[in-house]
């Protein structure tokens, strides 16, 4: 595979989506007209750690790498801006497949108002994709951080949970009695997570006090938010919005569906806290973004995360990342 040829191919498939990007591909570095506050995040996905070539198409891999980074911008309530993609390509990955990885990222970038403005391609013993994203805001106050939760706030979550975890079990060969539609939706949920950019901005505008994206599952991520805010979170696991098909997949895997919803990763929904008076504003942000909002608990004094089902603590087995088989 010719590296220069591949880079030329990548440049042909990328589009500039903003006047802010003054210079990008073909230069030594991208030149971007800045807004007052830059919001930057980097994520890397690695073969056999975050995906398998047997179960993820090249497009899935490119999508996933960029989606996980963009989800961090969503969790801050930032406007998306530019992305910079690093590809580590082993010898047995063809140039076409490398281009397909970039096509997957570019397709997501298009829907997310993001310009892929640069990157790097290197030979590597393991396939990996790194995505650095830069988002923008007019001021620090326009963003939502993890440390703003106050006792008395409500805890809300977007969308549905457990789908990516159930999808992973199915990808690994779990046989479950599922309608075809649910089966496909769960696989897609794992392979092509949707960063909640529009919702994140809407929740920031609605006055969310603290926010985090669910990359590892509520059991881990809500604890991060509680730690950073110096508060406790009391979550009623029976209120968790569980994706269709998760119950059947959990039954086939002899797991508790609540555990799958709370402790499996990769759903990339948003968890936030907000003052009770702003509850309707948060619900409206959800409607505007076409994503359901569910209130699942409240912020309390103290520093703990309590996940309760029918008045009893929920037993959690720890979050699931894709591990080498």
Question: What is the nearest approach in angstroms of Mg ion to the Cβ of residue 268?
Answer: 9
Question: What is the nearest approach in angstroms of Mg ion to the Cβ of residue 123?
Answer: 29
Among 4-12, 138-146, 191-199, 208-216, the segment contacting Mg ion (CB under 5 A): 208-216
Among 163-171, 172-180, 212-220, 246-254, the segment contacting Mg ion (CB under 5 A): 212-220
Residues 35-64 that bind Mg ion (CB under 5 A): none
Tell me: does residue 216 bind Mg ion (CB under 5 A). Answer: no
Question: What is the nearest approach in angstroms of Mg ion to the Cβ of residue 73?
Answer: 9
124: which 2 tokens?
A: 């590597």
Tell me: does residue 221 bind Mg ion (CB under 5 A). Answer: no
Alpha-carbon distance values, 166 to 188, 211, 217 (Å): 11, 24, 12
Residue 82 or 213 having the CB closest to Mg ion: 213
Question: What is the nearest approach in angstroms of Mg ion to the Cβ of residue 54?
Answer: 27
Residues 193 and 67 sit within 8 Å (Cβ to Cβ): yes
Residue 86 or 193 having the CB closest to Mg ion: 193
Residues 130 and 44 sit within 8 Å (Cβ to Cβ): yes
Question: What is the nearest approach in angstroms of Mg ion to the Cβ of residue 213?
Answer: 4
- Given 213, 216, 266, 269, the residue binding Mg ion (CB under 5 A): 213
- The SS3 call for residue 86 is strand
Residue 24 or 71 having the CB closest to Mg ion: 71
Among 79-87, 106-114, 178-186, 213-221, the segment contacting Mg ion (CB under 5 A): 213-221
Report CA dihedral (177, 180, 181, 186) to the nearest 10 degrees: 60
Q: Do the bridges between strand 37-46 and strand 31-32 make them parallel or antiparallel, or are there none, so unpaired?
A: unpaired
Can you say whether the dihedral through the CA atoms of 28, 30, 36, 41 is positive or negative? negative
For 79, phi and psi rounded to 5 degrees?
Answer: -80, 135
d(CA 205, CA 285): 8
Residues 100 and 127 sit within 8 Å (Cβ to Cβ): no
Among 69, 44, 201, smallest CA distance to 133 is for 69
CB atoms within 10 A of CB 235: 24
7: which 2 tokens?
A: 């880079």
Residue 102 or 208 having the CB closest to Mg ion: 208
Residue 213 or 269 having the CB closest to Mg ion: 213
d(CA 101, CA 55): 14
d(CA 172, CA 170): 5
Here's the x/- map for Mg ion, 62-91, by CB under 5 A: it reads as ----------x-------------------
Instruction: With CB under 5 A as the rule, give the number of residues binding Mg ion.
Output: 2
Among 304, 85, 74, smallest CA distance to 212 is for 74
Question: What is the nearest approach in angstroms of Mg ion to the Cβ of residue 160?
Answer: 18
Among 94-102, 173-181, 211-219, 223-231, the segment contacting Mg ion (CB under 5 A): 211-219
Residue 24 or 68 having the CB closest to Mg ion: 68
Question: What is the nearest approach in angstroms of Mg ion to the Cβ of residue 68?
Answer: 8
Residue 72 or 267 having the CB closest to Mg ion: 72
d(CA 97, CA 268): 26
d(CA 305, CA 299): 9
Tell me: does residue 266 bind Mg ion (CB under 5 A). Answer: no
d(CA 263, CA 245): 17
Here's the x/- map for Mg ion, 170-199, by CB under 5 A: it reads as ------------------------------
Question: What is the nearest approach in angstroms of Mg ion to the Cβ of residue 299?
Answer: 19
Binding site for Mg ion (CB under 5 A): 72, 213
């Amino acid at each position: 595979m010719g590296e220069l040829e591949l880079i030329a191919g990548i440049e042909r498939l990328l589009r500039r989506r903003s006047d802010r990007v003054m210079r990008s591909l073909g230069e030594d570095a991208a030149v971007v007209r800045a807004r007052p506050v830059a919001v930057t995040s980097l994520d890397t996905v690695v073969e056999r750690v975050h995906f398998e070539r047997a179960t993820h198409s090249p497009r899935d891999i490119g999508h996933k790498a960029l989606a996980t980074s963009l989800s961090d911008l969503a969790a801050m309530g930032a406007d998306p801006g530019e992305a910079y993609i690093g590809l580590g390509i082993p010898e047995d990955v063809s140039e076409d497949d490398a281009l397909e990885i970039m096509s997957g990222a570019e397709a997501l970038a298009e829907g997310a108002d993001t310009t892929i403005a640069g990157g790097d391609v290197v030979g590597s013993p393991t396939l990996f994709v790194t995505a650095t994203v830069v988002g923008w805001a007019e001021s620090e106050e326009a963003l939502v951080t993890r440390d703003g939760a106050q006792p008395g706030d409500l805890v809300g979550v977007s969308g549905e949970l457990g789908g990516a975890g159930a999808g992973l079990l199915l990808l690994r060969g779990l046989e479950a009695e599922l309608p075809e539609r649910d089966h496909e939706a769960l696989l897609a949920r794992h392979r092509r997570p949707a960063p909640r950019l529009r919702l994140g901005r809407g929740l920031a505008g609605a006055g969310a006090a603290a926010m985090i994206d669910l990359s590892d599952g509520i059991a881990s991520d809500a604890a991060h938010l509680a730690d950073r805010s110096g508060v406790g979170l009391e979550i009623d696991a029976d209120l968790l919005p569980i994706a269709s098909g998760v119950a059947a997949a959990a039954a086939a895997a002899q797991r508790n569906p609540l555990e799958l919803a709370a402790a499996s990763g990769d759903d990339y929904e948003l968890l936030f806290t907000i003052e009770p008076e702003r509850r309707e504003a948060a619900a409206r942000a959800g409607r505007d973004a076409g994503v359901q909002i569910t209130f699942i608990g409240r912020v309390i004094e103290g520093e703990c995360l309590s996940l309760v089902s029918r008045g009893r603590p929920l037993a959690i087995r720890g979050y699931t990342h894709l591990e080498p088989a």
